[in-house]
């Protein structure tokens, strides 16, 4: 019957659309509700995909301008067409959102455009611009994601005090930008703009960039970002930011506790994101978000209401697209009575700077805090023939291995194509392949992934063998 479903998914980000597709594959009648006119959520529209498109374009420009000559390639009059730079990004987004429309049709998933709000445990009202519909469903999956957060003293006005969302669609290349926060968004957006000639300063509260990752990665990343002339101010606390009309003015306490002021074309706020549940009318079903705004779920990702599940950025855990996707599949399979599992410890983290940063498993800091003994195997890309060939010698592979069984406890990489190399590390941890076994696999030569073999050889006491 019309508007009667087995499963209604609220939110069409990577959590929501994957959940809807998996549920449809399992034979359920499924609808997806999205308040915006395009599908794909943060990731596809204003997150992963547009950010990667601009990262790629800016890296091409930077290479053509500053590195081609070393390869013997002379290119004159290199210039950036900023309008085309942004337009290509929008085209990439559009290709992906159209792909999702196709996938919804292919899987016979009904798309309802409008804000979904609960009427009761089996009914959801969808308020669109020109009509209101009420959907009936046996199950609901809340996948409403997150929005940027700010800090006291800083009001995002989307004009001069902006977030990554505005930063992905600026009208002209800024001459200068201050970024508050040296986390993932901070360093990725800093890379985009510094590569195309914007004077970028990152103000970070803690003592390192990407502070939740292994400390050595943050240090190495800072070194490589300094080659792009990105200024990094650590141990610095932003107190306020103001739109002066023609610029943004940021006041902060520096590492010595002195008040400082910076002025730039834009101030981008990248201090984390908060779960988004506005408009859902959760009180109608008796769900109260936690203090940090997230929805509490159990090990089955079930909320306090048995037929309502929640996934992705709106619940606890890393705010990552692939984590949301895994949870999307998980919930559909749980509803179907299957027994899926997610190994949260091995969800990889990737930062798309150049070189890229990627990690899975425990950091050295975590192992120390837990009193776990470990051996370190490290191999620098400076010693890799593949990296020398492409002039990508910054960075290293670091593996952390249990001395007793050779179990891989963590892998931390900063280097070329680290985002792709990390996949093997996830496999090895998930299936408990030992460092000794990994050291004796045959890796193609010369490759970036070969550096892993040497790191495992070092960790198992033999010593590196390749160049
Ligand atoms: P979202 O993608 O946020 O989707 C939620 C959807 O729900 C939205 O479309 C929203 O409009 C809709 N919605 C909300 N409330 C309602 C309602 N009441 N009714 C109807 N619809 C509603 N992660 C990575 O893994 N890799 C990356 O490279 C990466 N890069 C990023 C770059 C940037 C600049 C940003 C901001 C984020 C990035 N992320 C990345 C994080 C990633 O985007 C999120 O973790 C991911 O999108 C979360 O997916 P989700 O499905 O939980 O929610
Ligand atoms: P984040 O948590 O990665 O970093 C926020 C940074 O801001 C931290 O380093 C924190 O110490 C700093 N900070 C907080 N308050 C501050 C203050 N008052 N002054 C100065 N610095 C301050 O958050 P983000 O970079 O905003 O990213 C949000 C989410 O989006 C993250 O959870 C991330 O996982 C996700 N994301 C992922 C990717 C990727 O996977 N490549 C890319 C972009 C975003």
From residue 262, alpha-carbon distances to 12, 186, 248 in Å are 39, 17, 8
User: What pLDDT does residue 312 have?
Assistant: 98
CA 143 to centroid of ligand 1, rounded, Å? 9
Which ligand 2 atom minimizes the distance to the CA of 252?
A: 19
Closest ligand 1 atom to 33 CA:
20
Buried-exposed string 80-96: b where 16+ CB fall within 10 A, e elsewhere:
beeeebbeebeebbeeb
Ligand 1 atom with least separation from CA of 117: 18
Q: Is 323 in the pocket of ligand 2 (CB under 6 A)?
A: no
pLDDT band at 464 (very low <50, low <70, confident <90, very high): confident
pLDDT band at 465 (very low <50, low <70, confident <90, very high): confident
The Cα 285–Cα 282 span in angstroms is 6
Ligand 2 centroid–CA 247 distance in Å is 23
Cα 18 to ligand 1 centroid, rounded to whole Å: 12
- Does the C-beta of 154 come closer than 6 Å to ligand 2? no
User: Which residue is closest in CA terms to ligand 2's atom 38?
Assistant: 184
pLDDT per residue over 372-415, tens digit each? 999 999 999 999 999 999 999 999 999 999 999 999 999 999 99
Domain 347-459: CATH superfamily, name plus number:
FAD/NAD-linked reductase, C-terminal dimerisation domain (3.30.390.30)
Residue whose structure tokens are 């996934």: 311
Report helix, strand or coil for 40: coil
Tell me whether the omega of the peptide bond preceding residue 355 falls within 30 degrees of 0, making it cis.
Answer: yes
In percent, the amount of the chain with pLDDT more than 70 equals: 99
Give the span between the Cα atoms of 240 and 248, in whole angstroms: 10
What are the pocket residues of ligand 1 if the criterion is a CB atom closer than 6 Å to any ligand atom?
10-16, 33-36, 41-43, 47-48, 51, 115-116, 143-146, 164, 185, 276, 279-280, 312-313, 319-322, 324, 352
Q: Read off the pLDDT of residues 440-460 as tens digits, 9 standing for 90 and up.
A: 999 999 999 999 999 999 999
User: Which residue lies with its CA nearest to atom 27 of ligand 1?
Assistant: 48
Query: In the numeric block, which tokens belong to residue 21?
Result: 């597709």
d(CA 463, CA 378): 10
- The CATH fold of domain 161-271: FAD/NAD(P)-binding domain (3.50.50)
Question: Looking at the annotation, which residues are catalytic?
Answer: 445
Ligand 2 site, residue 52, Cβ cutoff 6 A: no
Tell how far CA 465 is from the center of its chain. 34
Number of H helices, E strands in the chain: 13, 22
How does pLDDT run across 85-112, given as a tens digit for each residue?
A: 999 999 999 999 999 999 999 999 999 9
Write out the DSSP string of 268-328.
EE-S-EEE--TTS-GGGGT----TTSPPP--TT-B-SSTTEEE-GGGSSS---HHHHHHHH
Span 301-326, average pLDDT: 98
What are the pLDDT digits (tens) for 212-265?
A: 999 999 999 999 999 999 999 999 999 999 999 999 999 999 999 999 999 999
Q: Which ligand is nearest the CA of 351, by number?
A: 2
Q: Are 358 and 421 in contact (CB under 8 A)?
A: yes
Mutate to test the pocket of ligand 1, among 144, 149, 311 (most ligand atoms within 8 A of CB): 144
The protein residue whose alpha carbon is closest to atom 33 in ligand 1 is 47
| Phi and psi angles of residue 437, each rounded to the nearest 5 degrees, phi first | -65, -40
**What is the CATH number that goes with domain 4-147+274-342?**
3.50.50.60
Ligand closest to CA 142: 1
pLDDT of 8-35, one tens digit each?
Answer: 999 999 999 999 999 999 999 999 999 9
* Whether residue 467 has pLDDT greater than 90: no
Closest ligand by atom to 314 CA: 1
Least distant ligand from the CA of 151: 2
270 Cβ partners below 8 Å, 6+ apart?
148, 163, 164, 179, 180, 181, 183, 185, 186, 189
Q: How confident is the prediction for the chain on average, in pLDDT?
A: 97
Q: What are phi and psi of 139, to 5 degrees?
A: -130, 150
What integer is the mean pLDDT of 292-305? Answer: 98
Q: Which atom of ligand 2 is nearest to the CA of 149?
A: 26
Tell me, yes or no, if the pTM score tops 0.95. yes
Euclidean distance between CA atoms 162 and 15, whole angstroms: 26
Calpha distance 305→287 (Å, rounded): 7
Q: Do domains 4-147+274-342 and 161-271 have the same CATH topology?
A: yes
Q: Is the Cβ–Cβ distance between 125 and 117 less than 8 Å?
A: yes
Interval 127-177: pLDDT, tens: 999 999 999 999 999 999 999 999 999 999 999 999 999 999 999 999 999
What are the sequence ranges of the domains in the chain? 4-147+274-342, 161-271, 347-459
Tens digit of pLDDT for each residue in 336-365? 999 999 999 999 999 999 999 999 999 999
Helix ranges, 12-81 (H): 14-25, 41-46, 48-66
Q: Give the pLDDT score at 141.
A: 99
Q: Whose CA is nearest to atom 4 of ligand 2?
A: 183
Report how far ligand 2's centroid is from the alpha carbon of 48 (Å). 14
- CA dihedral sign of residues 218, 220, 224, 230: positive
Residue identifier of the C-alpha nearest atom 37 of ligand 1 = 47
**In the numeric block, which tokens belong to residue 219?**
């240090």
pLDDT of residue 462: 87
């Amino acid at each position: 019957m019309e508007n009667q479903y087995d499963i209604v998914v609220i939110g069409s980000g990577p959590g929501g659309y994957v959940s809807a597709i998996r549920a449809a594959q399992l034979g359920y009648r499924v609808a997806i509700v999205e308040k915006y006119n395009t599908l794909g959520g943060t990731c596809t529209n204003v997150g992963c995909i547009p950010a990667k498109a601009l990262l790629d374009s800016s890296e091409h420009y930077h290479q053509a301008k500053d590195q081609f000559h070393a390869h013997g390639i002379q290119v004159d009059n290199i210039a950036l067409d900023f309008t085309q730079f942004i337009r290509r990004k929008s085209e990439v987004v559009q290709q992906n959102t159209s792909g999702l429309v196709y996938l919804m049709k292919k899987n016979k998933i009904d798309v309802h455009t409008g804000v979904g709000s609960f009427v009761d445990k089996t009914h959801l009202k969808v308020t669109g611009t020109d009509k209101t519909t009420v959907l009936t469903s046996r199950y609901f999956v809340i996948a409403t994601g997150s929005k940027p957060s700010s800090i006291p003293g800083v009001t995002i006005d989307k004009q001069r005090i902006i977030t990554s969302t505005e930063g992905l669609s600026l009208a002209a290349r800024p001459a200068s930008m201050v970024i508050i926060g040296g986390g993932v968004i901070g360093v990725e957006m800093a890379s985009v703009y510094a590569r195309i000639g914007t004077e970028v300063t990152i103000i970070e509260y803690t003592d390192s960039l990407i502070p939740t990752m292994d400390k050595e990665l943050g240090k190495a990343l800072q070194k490589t970002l300094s080659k792009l002339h990105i200024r990094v101010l650590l141990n610095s606390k932003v107190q306020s930011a103001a739109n002066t009309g023609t610029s943004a003015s940021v006041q902060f306490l520096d590492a010595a506790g002195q008040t400082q002021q910076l002025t730039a074309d834009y101030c981008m706020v990248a201090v984390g994101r908060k779960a988004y549940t506005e408009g859902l009318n959760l009180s109608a079903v008796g769900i109260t978000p936690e203090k940090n705004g997230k929805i509490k779920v159990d090990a089955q990702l079930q909320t306090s209401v048995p037929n309502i599940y929640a996934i992705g950025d709106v619940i606890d855990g890393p705010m990552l697209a692939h984590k949301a996707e895994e949870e999307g599949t998980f919930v559909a399979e749980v509803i179907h009575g299957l027994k899926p599992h997610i190994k949260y410890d091995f969800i990889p983290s990737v930062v798309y700077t150049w070189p890229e940063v990627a990690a899975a498993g425990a950091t050295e800091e975590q192992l120390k805090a837990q009193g776990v003994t470990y051996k370190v195997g490290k191999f620098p890309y400076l010693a890799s023939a593949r990296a020398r060939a492409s002039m990508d010698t910054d960075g290293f592979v670091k593996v952390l291995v249990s001395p007793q069984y050779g179990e891989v406890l963590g892998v931390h990489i900063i280097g070329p194509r680290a985002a792709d190399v990390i996949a093997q590390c996830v496999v090895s941890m998930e299936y408990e392949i030992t460092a000794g076994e990994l050291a004796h696999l045959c890796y193609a030569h010369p490759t970036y992934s070969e550096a892993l073999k040497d790191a495992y050889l070092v960790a198992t006491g033999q010593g590196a063998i390749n160049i």
